[in-house]
Amino acid sequence: MKKNLYREFKNLFNKDAENAWFSPGRVNLIGEHIDYNGGLVMPCAITFGTYVVAATNDDGMFRFRSLNFEDKLDISLQQDYKKTGESWFNYPLGIINYFLKDGHQLQGLDLLYYGDIPISSGLSSSASIEVVTAYALNDLFNCGYSKLDLVKLGKEVENVFIGVNCGIMDQFAVAFGEKDKALMLNCDTLEYKAVDSNLGEHVLAIINTNKPRKLAESKYNERVQECQAALKALQQELNIQNLCDIDSTALKRYQHLIKDEVVLKRARHVIEENDRVKLAAEALASSNLAEFGRLMYASHNSLKNLYEVSGEELDAIVEYSKIDPNVAGARMTGAGFGGCAIALVKESAFDNFSKAVAAYYTDKIGYAPSVYSSLIGDGVGLLKEVVGNL
Ligand code: GLA
């Protein structure tokens, strides 16, 4: 982190901060558009994230400041907030709203945020700011929520206050992530295992398309509805609660129930992707990176052709990866419609990969991507415990 947030806080608010917290962003190794269908996902927390420093005040005001954005908000402590415009502070405001609705007595707060997750890159900057705010409030006001409560609260804010019908993967990953581990999360039961992200001689590359995401939220909500339509059609004969309650063999038997061709394509993606996550977990456990990579490519293909959430930018990165012998596998990660792709790249060849994928992409798309070598880090916590002292 390049900023001394305590000093910046003091400059802005003329007093010392009480404490600082950090929440990471996340990538998802495999299991895309699965969480809101009750299946298996495999995300990891990354070392990019959101920092917040805060102190209570006695004048009953919430003051939100960010080192990333000019817009700021000063708002008095009241009972019911509403989302206003598209500003970043809606996320923390939504969290505060839920603490208040839950009956917690809060005091005014001065808050300063800083994030190093590339904005709108599909690396969960919104889950990160939600979870870090919830975690800080819980600490500052001794509200007694468990980490899982905070995850659920973050998702609720995203669904109701912000209006995106996301699943629970992002909030869960940024809260429960562990250094050098991937989380095998069952999004129905919320049981999870932290498994070694045993990438052998490979590192995880994150390639940001730098494509401004447009209509992503409405398209995302449209996919959620299509999945609900598929589930409803299957429920005519099957006693299931989630699309991921069946596997691809069962889908073949019952697919005649889904009359709409588009809806059937969406259901096929979800159910086959869920099967792929099970295979990917076995591949990772036996350090079979070639098989893991094959499943990543298959996942991307399905997101492109069946779920239709990729795009020429993400496809260009995957196309390049396929011709580079030092890449085991690649796919888009997160919701899609722009954002980031990930690739498993031989560590010794990372610099070459980085240059070559950027050249290929720029030639095809007309502007450059950003390429990072990601470190898999810890989930939310006090800054000094997760990142170290400033
Ligand atoms: C976004 C959502 C998640 C998940 C992914 C797709 O990141 O916030 O809940 O649905 O898309 O896997």
> Do 72 and 145 reside in the same domain of the chain?
yes
pLDDT, mean of residues 196-209: 91
* Residue 344 amino acid letter: L
Report the nearest-CA residue for atom 11 of ligand 1.
Answer: 335
Q: Say yes or no to pLDDT of 100 above 90.
A: yes
- Counting from 1 in the atom list of ligand 1, the atom nearest the Cα of 335 is 11
Residue nearest to atom 2 of ligand 1 (CA): 166
Task: State the chain's mean pLDDT as an integer.
Answer: 95
User: Do residues 109 and 37 both lie within one domain?
Assistant: yes
Residues 138 and 249 occupy one common structural domain: no
Same domain, 150 and 212: no
Q: Tokens 């699943």 map to which residue?
A: 167
Q: Is residue 303 located within the same domain as residue 381?
A: no
Indicate if 135 and 267 belong to the same structural domain. no
Q: Which has more pLDDT, 213 or 330?
A: 330
Q: Which residues are catalytic?
A: 170
Q: How far is the CA of 303 from the centre of ligand 1 (A)?
A: 13
Of the two residues 118 and 207, the one the predictor is more confident about is 207
Give, as one character, the DSSP assignment of residue 211. P
pLDDT value of position 374: 73
Say whether pLDDT at 185 is over 90: yes
* Percent of the chain whose predicted confidence (pLDDT) is above 90: 91
- Can you give the pLDDT at residue 199? 86
Q: Could you report the per-residue pLDDT of 39-50, keeping only the tens digit for each?
A: 999 999 999 999
- With a CB cutoff of 8 Å and minimum separation 6, the contacts of 131 are 23, 150, 151, 154, 171, 174, 175, 380
Indicate if 217 and 131 belong to the same structural domain: no
Rounded (5°) CA angle 281-337-232: 70
Q: What is the pLDDT of residues 46-90, one digit of tens each?
A: 999 999 999 999 999 999 999 999 999 999 998 899 998 989 999
* 63 and 150 together in one domain: yes
Total of domains in the chain: 2
- Ligand 1 contacts (CB < 6 A) are 28, 32-33, 35-36, 166-167, 169-170, 334-335
φ, ψ (nearest 5 deg) of residue 359: -65, -45
Pocket test for ligand 1, best of 28, 42, 169, 273 (most atoms within 8 A of CB): 169
CATH of the domain at 273: 3.30.70.890
pLDDT band for position 1 (cuts 50, 70, 90): low
Same domain membership, residue 221 and residue 185: no
Residue 344 sits in the same domain as residue 228: yes
* Centre of ligand 1 from the C-alpha of residue 123, in Å: 10
Q: How confident is the model at residue 107 (pLDDT cuts 50, 70, 90)?
A: very high
**Structure tokens that stand for 139 in this block:** 């600490």
Taking the centre of ligand 1 as the mean of its atom positions, its distance from the CA of residue 333, in whole angstroms, is 9
Q: What is the pLDDT of residue 88?
A: 96
Strands (E), the chain: 19-28, 40-41, 43-57, 61-66, 73-76, 108-115, 181-186, 192-196, 202-208, 327-333, 340-346, 370-373, 381-382
Mean pLDDT of 107-118: 95
Residue 317 alpha carbon to ligand 1 centre in Å: 20
Q: What is the pLDDT of residues 298-346, one digit of tens each?
A: 999 999 999 999 999 999 999 999 999 999 999 999 999 999 999 999 9
C-alpha separations of 79 from 101, 162, 293 in Å: 7, 18, 50
Whether the Cβ atoms of residue 197 and residue 180 lie closer than 8 Å to each other: yes
Range of the structural domain that residue 137 is part of: 2-196+377-386
Residues 122 and 252 in one domain: no
Q: Based on the domain organization, do 37 and 56 belong to the same domain?
A: yes
* Residue-level pLDDT at 159: 95
User: Sorting pLDDT into bands at 50, 70 and 90, what band is 390?
Assistant: low
Closest ligand 1 atom to residue 158 Cα is 8
CATH of the domain at 115: 3.30.230.10
pLDDT of res. 215:
62
Give pLDDT tens digits for 138-148.
999 999 999 99
